[in-house]
Amino acid sequence: MYKWIQDIAASFPDKSIEIKPTPIQASEGDYFAKIALALKSKDTAPDIVTEDTFILNSDASAGYLEPLDDKLTGWEDWSNGSFIEALKKGVTASDGKVYGVPYNTDSRGLWYNKTLFKQAGLPEDWAPKTWDEVLDAARTIKQKLPDVVPFWMNMGKATGEATSMQTYEMLLYGTGERLYDNATSKWITKSQGILDALQFIQTINKEKLGPPLSKVLNGQAGNTSAREYLPQGKLAISLDGSWIPGNYLPNGAAPWPEYKDVLGFAPMPTSKGQAPGSITLAGGWALSIPSNSQHKDAAWEVIKYALNKENSKKLVIASGNITVRADVAQDPEYTAMPFNDLATAYLANAEFRPAQDKYPEVSTQIQTMVESVATGTSPADAANKYAQDVTRIVGDGNTIEK
Amino acid sequence: MSSLAVASAGRRRKTWTWLYFLLPSLAIMLVFFIYPIILTVFYSFTNLALTGEAAKNLKFIGFDNYTHMFEDPTVRTSIWNTLVFLIGSAVVGQQVLGFLIALFMKHKNKWFRRVVGTIVLAGWVTPEIVCALCLYSFFSDEGTLNAMLQSVGIPEVTWLYTVPMITIILANIWHGTAFSMLVFQAALDDVPSEIEEAAVVDGATKWQILTRVTIPYIKETITTNMMLVTLQTLGVFGLIYAMTGGGPGTSTTTLPIFMYNQAFVNYQLGYGTAISLLLLFIGIILSLFYIRSMRD
C-alpha cells in the first residue's frame, strides 16, 4: 500500500499539490486510537485518511470526517456503476451520508488444504452445505490425520476484530440472525442464533477439532494459521479472509508458489443450509477526508485520481485484496489472480457489520464472549454476560430479545 | 521604633523573595501535575470518548462511571489480579528475595559481591519492554524454558497459557529485585557489627540475631522499601501487556491493563480515567498503611 501511495504521489498530474504519505507504525488496535487522536485537532489532522469501514461510522458520528455526497455527485465513476453498488453500504454512515470512497474489500470463507483432504479421503472439490458437514469433515481429519489441526478460527480477544468478524459474525449471520435489528434500530442481545453460533465454537473446542488454545488466544494467531500452519500442511480447514493468498505471493510474508493448487476456498454454509445457502461478511477500507483537513478540495482530487480504474487495479493486485470496482472485477489482469473470482463472487451474499457508532465497543464484548466459550464457559452463561454488557454499552432502551 | 519597622520590612521582603524563587517550580507543578490531576478527576465524571457520538458531545454524567465500575465484574477481577501480582512479585518476591540476596552477600568478599550484584542488576537496568520480550521468549511455547525441559525429556508446557500469572510475577521479580537488594545492602552495612557481636557473646543463634537484632534495626528501611516497591509495581503495564496482553481471558488483567483497554481499545476515555483514579486511590491507601506501620 505504501509503495502504491508513493507511485500515486509521483504520477499525480497536478504538481502544485504535494502528496506526503505518513505511515503509522502501530498494531491494528492502536491504529484506530492514533487516528482518532490525530483527527481531533486541526494541527494534526491529515488531508486524507484511510478508514476501516467498521470504525468509519464512529468517526463520522464523532464529527471527524467530512461527508462526501456533494463531491460524489460530480464524479461520474461513482454513479455510472463502476463501483459495486452493495459496497457503498459500507461507507454510508447511520445518518445516510457517504463518508469515504472504498478502495478494497474482502470476503470470508473456508480455506482448505486439498492435499490433506485427499489423504483423509475427503473430496478435493469441497462444498459443505451445512455446519454439520463442516464439523464432519473436521472430525474425519482428526480421525485420519491425528497430527493435523482440523479446523482453525480466531477465538481470542487478542485477535480483536478478526475474532468478531471472521468467526462470530460469520457464524451468527449464517444462522439468519443479526447483531443489530434494522427494523427497530435495536441491538439484539438474546437469540437462538447467538446460542447456535456459540454452540459451534464450543463443539470445535470440546471435541478438540481446533488449534491448541495457547496458539489461538494470542495476537499472532492469524499469522500462525495463515503463514505457518496452512502452508506447512499442519492445518486442514481455516475460516479466514480472502486476503490470505497475499501472504503467498513472491513478495508476501510467506511465499508459497504451490498455493494455487494446494488450497481450496469453499463458501461458508449457513447453519442448516437455509437460504441463501452461504454467507460472507465484507469489510474493507476507504479513503476519507477529515473535517479538520486544511486542503479538502485538493484531497478530493487526489482521491479521485488514486481510485480511478487503473490505480484501483494496481492496488488490489499488489495487496491481494478484492476490488470494490465492478470494472476492475472484469479486468483479465485481476481475474487471473487465483481465487479473486471466487472471493468476488461470494460478495453477492455479503453482509456488513452494523453501521452504528457503538459497534467497535460491542465488538470487544463479542471477543470476550467468544474467548470465554473457547476456554470452557457454557454458551448460555457467555450469552447472558454478553447481553448484560451490551445493554450497558448501548443503553437499556436500545436492545431487543428474539 | 524605626529600627523595628526596618527589621520587619526586611523580614517581610525576605518572605516574598522566598516565594518569588519558588514561583517557577510552582508554576511547573501547576501546569504539569496539579492541572492534569484536576482534569482527570473532571473527565472521570464525563462520557469522554475517543470516537463515536460521545466524542462530539462531552457530557457530564455524574457518578455513572463509578457506579458502573462497581457493577463490572472485570473490575473486581482486575483488582484481585493487581493484588495477587503485587503481593507475589513485590511484597514476597522482590522484597524477600532482595533481602535474602543482600544478607547472603553481606560478609562475602568484594569480588563475589560484584559478580552476584552484576547478575541481579542486569534485570534492573534492562528496560521494561526489553525485559518483557526476553521473558516472553523464555516462557513461550517454543521458548528457552521448554527447550531446556525437552532436552531432559520433560514434555512442553504452555506456560503463558497455563500459569500466566506466575510467569508475569517471575518476570517482575527478575526485573525489580535489584532495587530492593541495593536498598537492603546499604541498610545491612549500616547495622553496627558491635551489636551483632554482643549478641554472639550472649549466646544468640544466627536466627535469633537475624530476627531480634538485624531485622528490627532495619525495620524502617523495610517499610520504606515496601512502599516504593509497591507503588512501582502498581503501575507496571508494559511488562504484562507485552507478555500476556492481560490474557488469556482476564487472568492477568491488572488495573493498568484494564484501564488501557477501556481507554484505547474501547475508546472510553472517561471510564478509563475513573479506573485510573481507582488505582491512585489503592496506591494512597497502601501508602498510608505503610506510613502508619512505620510510626508504630
Q: What is the CATH number of the domain that holds B190?
A: 1.10.3720.10
- Give CA–CA dist B275/B258, Å, rounded: 8
B95 lies in a domain? yes
- Give the closest-approach CA distance of A301 to chain B in angstroms: 27
CB contact under 8 A, B55 and A392: no
B264 pLDDT tier (thresholds 50, 70, 90): confident
- Give CA–CA dist A280/A11, Å, rounded: 36
Q: Find, among A78, A99, A104, A101, the residue nearest to A290 by Cα.
A: A99
B27 lies in a domain? no
- Give CA–CA dist A194/A368, Å, rounded: 14
- Give the closest-approach CA distance of A357 to chain B in angstroms: 5
Q: Which residue has the cell 553496627?
A: B192
The mean of the pLDDT values for chain A is 92
B70 CB within 8 Å of a chain A CB: no
**Residue A64 has what pLDDT?**
95
DSSP code per residue over A221-235: HHHIIIIIITTTT-E
Radius of gyration of chain A (CA): 21
A156 CB within 8 Å of a chain B CB: yes
**Residue B173 has what pLDDT?**
94
**Residue B165 has what pLDDT?**
95
The 10s digit of each residue's pLDDT in A161-172 is: 899 999 999 999
Q: Which residues of A touch B55 (CB under 8 A)?
A: 36, 40, 61-64
- Give CA–CA dist A292/B204, Å, rounded: 77
Q: Which residue has the cell 491448541?
A: A212
- Give CA–CA dist B167/B177, Å, rounded: 15
B66 lies in a domain? no
B51 CB within 8 Å of a chain A CB: yes
CB contact under 8 A, A217 and B56: no
| B161's grid cell | 497459557
Q: Which residue has the cell 526586611?
A: B10
B217 CB within 8 Å of a chain A CB: no
**Residue A133 has what pLDDT?**
96
B21 pLDDT tier (thresholds 50, 70, 90): confident
- Give CA–CA dist A93/A51, Å, rounded: 13
- Give CA–CA dist A267/B13, Å, rounded: 85
- Give CA–CA dist B85/B166, Å, rounded: 9
Higher pLDDT, B18 or A41: A41
A291 CB within 8 Å of a chain B CB: no
**Residue A369 has what pLDDT?**
95
B4 lies in a domain? no
Pairing type for strands A186-190 and A180-181 reads antiparallel
B234 lies in a domain? yes
**Residue B13 has what pLDDT?**
56
Q: What is the CA angle A258-A261-A267, rounded to 5?
A: 125
CB B172 within 8 A of CB B165: no
Distances (CA, A) of B111 to A23, B46, B106, B125: 51, 59, 12, 20
The 10s digit of each residue's pLDDT in B201-227 is: 888 888 998 888 899 999 889 999 999
**Residue B44 has what pLDDT?**
93
- Give CA–CA dist A338/A13, Å, rounded: 33
Give which of B47, B48, B50, B51 to mutate to test A binding, by max A Cβ within 10 Å.
B51
- Give CA–CA dist A249/A19, Å, rounded: 29
Upper half-sphere CA count for residue A183 (Cβ side, 13 Å): 4
**Closest residue on chain B to A57 (Cα):** B52
- Give CA–CA dist A383/A361, Å, rounded: 16
**Closest residue on chain B to A365 (Cα):** B266
The 10s digit of each residue's pLDDT in A53-100 is: 888 989 999 999 999 999 999 999 999 989 988 888 889 988 899 999
B31 lies in a domain? no
B118 lies in a domain? yes
Secondary structure E strands in A278-366: 278-281, 285-288, 350-351
Phi-psi region of A185 (alpha: psi -120 to 50; beta: other; left: phi over 0): left
B26 lies in a domain? no
SS3 for A83-97, per residue?
ECHHHHHHHECCCCC
CB contact under 8 A, A371 and B265: no
Say if residue B248 is preceded by a cis peptide, omega within 30 of 0: yes
Give which of A359, A361, A385, A389 to mutate to test B binding, by max B Cβ within 10 Å.
A361
Higher pLDDT, A312 or B112: A312
B11 pLDDT tier (thresholds 50, 70, 90): low
**Residue B81 has what pLDDT?**
96
- Give CA–CA dist B215/B95, Å, rounded: 13
The 10s digit of each residue's pLDDT in B106-155 is: 877 788 888 888 888 888 899 999 999 999 999 988 889 999 999 998 88
Q: Which residues of B touch A213 (CB under 8 A)?
A: 161, 248
- Give CA–CA dist A168/A316, Å, rounded: 26
B14 pLDDT tier (thresholds 50, 70, 90): low
Which residue from A63, A218, A364 is facing B266, i.e. has the nearest CB? A364
- Give CA–CA dist A148/A230, Å, rounded: 10
**Closest residue on chain B to A217 (Cα):** B248
Task: Name residue A279's beta-bridge partners.
Answer: A268
Map residue A290 onto helix, strand or coil: strand
DSSP code per residue over chain B: -HHHHHHHHHHHHHHHHHHHHHHHHHHHHIIIIIHHHHHHHHHTTB---SSSHHHHS--B-TTHHHHHHHH-HHHHHHHHHHHHHIIIIIIIIIIIHHHHHHHHHTTS-HHHHHHHHHHHHHHHHS-HHHHHHHHHHHHSTTSHHHHHHHHTTPPP--HHHHSHHHHHHHHHHHHHHHHHHHHHHHHHHHS-HHHHHHHHHTT--HHHIIIIIIHHHTHHHHHHHHHHHHHHHHT--HHHHHHTTT-STTTT--HHHHHHIIIIIS--HHHHHHHHHHHHHHHHHHHHHHHHHHH-
The 10s digit of each residue's pLDDT in A120-153 is: 999 999 999 999 999 999 999 999 999 999 999 9
Task: Name residue A241's beta-bridge partners.
Answer: A108
Residues 319-358 of A with CB under 8 A from B: 357-358
Residue count of chain A, please give it: 402
Q: Which residues of B touch A215 (CB under 8 A)?
A: 141
Residues 179-218 of A with CB under 8 A from B: 212-215, 217-218
CB A265 within 8 A of CB A110: yes
Which residue from B55, B248, B267 is facing A217, i.e. has the nearest CB? B248
B55 CB within 8 Å of a chain A CB: yes
Q: What is the mean pLDDT of residues B57-85?
A: 90
Range in A26-30, A321-325, B99-103, B176-180 with the lowest mean pLDDT:
A26-30
The residue range of the domain holding B240 is 79-262+277-295
Q: What is the number of structural domains in chain B?
A: 1
Instruction: Give me the percent of chain B exceeding a pLDDT of 90.
Output: 50
Range in A172-176, B190-194, B201-205, B290-294 with the lowest mean pLDDT:
B290-294
Question: Is the pLDDT score of B1 beyond 80?
Answer: no
The 10s digit of each residue's pLDDT in A346-400 is: 888 888 898 888 888 899 899 999 999 998 899 999 999 999 989 988 888 899 9
Q: Sheet with A350-351: list strands edge to edge.
A: A268-269, A278-281, A350-351
Which residue from B49, B56, B162 is facing A63, i.e. has the nearest CB? B56
Sign of the C-alpha dihedral, residues A276, A280, A285, A290?
positive
Which residue from B68, B71, B161 is facing A213, i.e. has the nearest CB? B161
CB contact under 8 A, A157 and B158: no
A373 CB within 8 Å of a chain B CB: no
Its ipTM equals 0.80
